[in-house]
């Protein structure tokens, strides 16, 4: 009888251990399942709001808001000597303002609905990706590469007739952590030019510049949008997701010269956001 009880005790002990192990395994499985569901929900959110990833080094990933469509870079043409050169007119550059955007890497446009004289009307928005990467490859321009963002802001302010910019304080810093901690957070210096001076077909527009730095490489996303966009466009939400996903190479382009006055690991901060309207 004692032997039976001993065997029964061992069986119950084994059963208890198995049940405990199964419970722990079940808990781990449920945790992994919940995390997978969160991840796929995040991917679905991205795909429902952003276009597929665009890449052109040093930009490793840029997913623009879903409604934007890329304006392709024009093919080169032959000059009088038969050499291939860029055409004089680049459709990616603004045609609504006497502005040639420096360091242009890519351009997108999108239709939006705004209210004009109490009636809905269609107006375009624009997104530009710019970088100092090409400057870093040229010995005669590398020394000016650290000032790329600052020079860009001064140029835009000049074209929009903004009073002299004050660079005494830092611009607004925005941090965009990627949801659920799937990737490292992104930091941007954000500059906003808003007012009533720039009008396209009777509608005021704003310029938003999101500047990002990785070592000597600087890049900016320049968003030009009409005021009063219909909320159904979900543009603010999509821009936030775009900034979360933006990825710039941490290394200078192959063969790039080091910026004057600093090492390849340091980034020159951009100036402050303009305090005045255009």
- Is the confidence at residue 254, as pLDDT, over 80? no
For residue 42, what pLDDT band results from cuts at 50, 70 and 90? Answer: confident
- Is the confidence at residue 197, as pLDDT, over 80? no
Mean of pLDDT over the chain: 80
**Distance, CA of 63 to CA of 49 (rounded, Å):** 9
Helix (H, G, I), strand (E, B) or coil at 124: strand
First to last CA, the chain: 97
Instruction: Locate the domains of the chain by residue range.
Output: 1-49, 53-248
**Distance, CA of 266 to CA of 263 (rounded, Å):** 6
Among 22-31, 66-75, 170-179, name the one with the lowest average pLDDT: 170-179
Q: What is the mean pLDDT of residues 21-31?
A: 67
Q: H or E stretch including 138?
A: none
Contacts of 202 (CB under 8 A, 6+ apart): 116
pTM of the model: 0.79
**DSSP conformational letter for 212:** E
pLDDT of the residue at 22: 61
For residue 81, what pLDDT band results from cuts at 50, 70 and 90? Answer: confident
Q: What is the pLDDT of residues 145-164, one digit of tens each?
A: 999 999 999 999 888 887 76
**Distance, CA of 127 to CA of 150 (rounded, Å):** 19
For residue 201, what pLDDT band results from cuts at 50, 70 and 90? Answer: confident
Q: What is the mean pLDDT of residues 56-75?
A: 95
């Amino acid at each position: 009888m004692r032997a039976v009880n001993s065997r029964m005790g061992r069986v119950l002990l084994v059963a208890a251990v198995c049940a405990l192990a199964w419970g722990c395994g079940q808990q781990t499985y449920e945790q992994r399942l919940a995390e997978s569901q969160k991840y796929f929900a995040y991917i679905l959110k991205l795909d429902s709001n952003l276009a597929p990833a665009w890449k052109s080094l040093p930009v490793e990933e840029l997913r623009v808001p879903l409604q934007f469509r890329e304006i392709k870079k024009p093919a080169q043409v032959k000059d009088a000597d038969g050499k291939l050169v860029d055409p004089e007119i680049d459709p990616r550059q603004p045609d609504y303002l006497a502005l040639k955007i420096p360091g242009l890497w890519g351009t997108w446009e999108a239709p939006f609905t705004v209210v004009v004289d109490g009636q809905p009307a269609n107006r375009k928005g624009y997104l530009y990706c710019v970088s100092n990467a090409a400057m870093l490859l040229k010995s005669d321009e590398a020394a000016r590469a650290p000032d790329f963002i600052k020079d860009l802001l001064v140029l835009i302010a000049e074209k929009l007739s903004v009073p002299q910019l004050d660079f005494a304080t830092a611009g607004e810093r925005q941090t965009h952590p990627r949801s659920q901690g799937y990737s490292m957070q992104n930091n941007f210096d954000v500059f906003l030019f808003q007012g009533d001076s720039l009008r396209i077909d009777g509608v005021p527009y704003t310029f938003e510049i999101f500047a990002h730095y990785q070592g000597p490489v600087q890049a900016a996303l320049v968003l030009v949008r009409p005021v009063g966009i219909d909320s159904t466009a979900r543009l603010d939400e999509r821009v936030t997701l775009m900034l979360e996903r933006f990825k710039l190479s941490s290394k200078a382009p192959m063969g790039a010269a080091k910026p004057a006055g600093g090492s390849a690991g340091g980034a020159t901060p951009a100036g402050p956001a303009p305090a005045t309207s255009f």
